[in-house]
A and B are shown apart, each in its own frame.
Chain A
Amino acid sequence: MSHISIEGLNAGYGQFQALFDLDLEVLAGSRTAIIGANGAGKSTLLRSIVGQVDIRSGSIRIDGRDLGASRTHRRAGAGVALVPEGRHLFATLTVRDNLLVGAHTRRPGPWNLDAVLDTFPLIRPLVGRRADGLSGGEKQAVAIGRALMSNPNVLLLDEVSLGLAPVIVGDLYAAIADVADAGTTVVVVEQDIIQATAFADVVHCLLEGRVVLSGPPGELELDDIRNAYFGVAVS
Chain B
Amino acid sequence: MTGGDTTAPGSIGARIERSSTTSRIGLTGFVLLVILLAVAPGFFSAQTKITLIGIFTYLALAQMWNLLAGYAGLVSIGQQAFVGVAAYAVFVLAERNGVPLLIAVLGAGLVAAVLAVPSGAVALRLHGGYFAVGSWVLAEVFRLATLRIDALGAGDIQSFSAASAFSGLSIDQRQNLLYWSALALGAGGTLLVVAILRSRVGLALKAVADDEGAAQALGVDVWRVKLAVWIVAAFWCGLAGAVIHLSASTVTNDNAFSVADWTATVIFIVVVGGVSSVSGPVLGVGVYWIVTEVFEDATTWRLIVLGVLAVIVAVAQPRGIFGLVERRRRLPLFPVRRRLVAPGRE
Q: Do chains A and B touch in the complex (CB under 8 A)?
A: no
B residues engaging A (CB < 8 A)?
none
A residues engaging B (CB < 8 A)?
none
